Amino acid sequence: MEMEEIITSGQLELYVTGSLSQREAMKVEELLQQYPEVKKEVEAIEKSLIGITENKNISIPPAVWENILARIKGVRTLPPPPKGSSWSSYVGWAAAVVFLGGIFWMLFQNNKLSDQVQLTTIENIQLEEKVSDTENSLAQSEALLDILRSKDYKTITLPGNQAVAPQSYAKVYYSAKEKIAYVDARGLPEPPNGKVYQVWSLIMDPLTPRSVGLLEGYETSSTKVFKLENIPDPEAFGITLEPKGGSESPTLTQLYTLGMVSP
């Protein structure tokens, strides 16, 4: 094979890009030892490839793009290089495209992995918050049970008003010492929109009602137990359904439950 034929055959470019078989690569290495001109041409090809990867203003020839599109569409035939282009420049551009494609693939995989790590982190935070909420709820429930079982609290049952809500009921756990009441309103129906339950401390003779609080957030409460403070000495407790915000005096036609405090 003549020297000029070796240089223009495209074998050297394929050798530099690692595209030759082992046998073909060994033949090229033998030529490198025999012919300084061949070695010089290989060095020039390597320098050209390095320059391509470092050049930020690359204008890729149309033939390279056509080759890429053909491979994407599943066409395996390689179109001939355009006139005036050498195998050296063609293979050089192909190597640059493969190099850049590898970078894009690595960036895509890194971004995908980063998204997965971020999603897992968010899920772990949400799980920790749920566990924390559950632990807090259990702690509050245990504390509430300790309070209600205390000898300082008296249990008052409030049956439903037969004329208004016969199926309703409630319980009040009242401490005369602390002037605190816990109202268990689980037996009340959910109030309509724009309405709220209001708790009253009552003196029966003469009838003297005093509001001691609203059962706000009834719809969202998981326990339906509400703490009320500053309770005067009552003879009875009553619960009425009032407009949102409460009323100054009880609406007796909307009296849902009423229970007497035993001496």
- Same-domain pairing of 16 and 44: yes
- Same-domain pairing of 228 and 183: yes
- Same-domain pairing of 61 and 158: no
- Same-domain pairing of 127 and 220: no
pLDDT, tens digit, 9 for 90 and up, residues 118-144: 777 776 676 666 555 444 544 556 666
Taking the C-alpha atoms of residue 240 and residue 201, their distance in angstroms, rounded to an integer, is 11
Cβ atoms of 223 and 236 within 8 Å: the answer is no
- Same-domain pairing of 144 and 165: no
Q: Of 99, 131, 149, which residue constitutes the final position of a domain?
A: 149
Q: Of 115, 149, 183, which residue constitutes the final position of a domain?
A: 149
- Same-domain pairing of 50 and 165: no
- Same-domain pairing of 53 and 2: yes
Taking the C-alpha atoms of residue 210 and residue 251, their distance in angstroms, rounded to an integer, is 12
Burial of 211 (0-12, 13-18, 19+ CB in 10 A): middle
Q: For the residues 161-166, what does the mean pLDDT come to? A: 92
Cβ atoms of 160 and 166 within 8 Å: the answer is yes
Q: Of 149, 178, 203, which residue constitutes the final position of a domain?
A: 149
pLDDT, tens digit, 9 for 90 and up, residues 27-55: 878 888 888 888 888 788 777 766 655 55
Taking the C-alpha atoms of residue 22 and residue 15, their distance in angstroms, rounded to an integer, is 10
- Same-domain pairing of 33 and 127: yes
Say how many domains are in the chain: 2
Other C-beta atoms closer than 10 Å to the C-beta of 171 total: 20
pLDDT, tens digit, 9 for 90 and up, residues 56-88: 455 555 655 555 455 444 444 444 555 555 555
Q: Would you call 242 helix, strand, or coil by DSSP?
A: strand
Token pair recorded at residue 229? 């403070």
Q: Where are the alpha helices (DSSP H) in the chain?
A: 3-8, 11-16, 22-34, 36-54, 62-72, 87-148
Supply the pTM of this predicted model: 0.48
> Residue 83 belongs to what domain range?
1-149
Cβ atoms of 160 and 257 within 8 Å: the answer is yes
